[in-house]
Amino acid sequence: MAALIETRNLVKEYVMGTNHVFALNDVSISIHEGEFVAIMGASGSGKSTFMNVIGCLDAPTSGEYYLAGERVSELSSDELAAIRNKRIGFIFQQFNLLPRTSALDNVELPLLYSSIPAAERRARAIQRLTEVGLGERIDHRPAQLSGGQQQRVAIARALVNNPALILADEPTGALDSRTSIEIMALLQKLNAQGMTIVVVTHEHDIAEFASRIITFRDGQVINDQVNRPDDALLQLSKLDRAEQPV
């Protein structure tokens, strides 16, 4: 497999008076196409800074970052914005949906910055909503949907531009345990279809659904291990059986 993400000696330094704080300190990581990776670490460990850099939301102080072979660590703001729109899909803890618009309009939103005709935008948004199990709720506004359904809308929005990479920042942080497993089952399904997924989390239970776990501490990688992922669908099946009346 080719490396989709490659970082070489990444450093992100903040200067606060006479103090120098390293959010990232000499981080070199390769993530290949089709991997499902969990980035773990306590608050302040550097995991969110790393996600911001590979998501082209922030630039490193030094070091190199390559996305699909293209060096992006020194691109302009406009060039980074174009990469975010075309190559990366983002999923956040708080969903970030527009409250007064339908699920369909929320999913269509990233396509408005392209030259795609309106009919194709709508068709692609409907297709993605159907794929995440919301084909019958395309006209519902966020307030008419459960938390899990809102996150599914956010996932459909992340997918609508056919990105090479999905970055999920604490995607289950605002959800209950059962809904969290449902969302991880959906991400496992997308990964099985070939999508590269990177999840940032501080929850060990969530990280266990990934096939690789990278742990940060004090801006450095302290562990990088292959993982035998939990089967989210199997966990849901067990929950269903446990909830059935005796």
Which is more confidently placed, 50 or 241? 50
Query: What mean pLDDT is predicted for residues 25-45?
Result: 95
Angle between helices 147-159 and 118-131 (to 10 degrees): 130
**Alpha-carbon dihedral 47, 49, 52, 56, rounded to 10 degrees:** -120
**pLDDT score at 186:** 95
Tokens of 233: 């669908």
Q: Which of 26-30, 78-82, 86-90, 186-190 has the lowest mean pLDDT?
A: 78-82
**pLDDT score at 81:** 87
DSSP class per residue in 15-40: EETTEEEEEEEEEEEEEETT-EEEEE
| Predicted confidence (pLDDT) at residue 88 exceeds the cutoff of 60 | yes
Residues 41-65 have pLDDT tens digits of 998 899 999 999 999 998 899 999 9
* 216, burial (CB in 10 Å: exposed 0-12, middle 13-18, buried 19+): buried
With the C-alpha atoms ordered 118, 119, 120, 121, is the resulting torsion angle positive or negative?
Answer: positive
Measure the CA–CA gap between 145 and 156, rounded to whole angstroms: 14
Q: Which residues pair with 196 in a beta bridge?
A: 165
Residues 93-152 have pLDDT tens digits of 888 999 999 999 999 999 987 788 999 999 999 999 999 999 999 999 999 999 999 999
Which is more confidently placed, 132 or 244? 132
Q: What percent of the chain has pLDDT over 70?
A: 99
Start-to-end CA span in the chain (Å): 49
Counted residue by residue, the chain has a size of 246
- Token pair 């959010």 is found at 23
Query: What mean pLDDT is predicted for residues 149-173?
Result: 94
**pLDDT score at 240:** 84
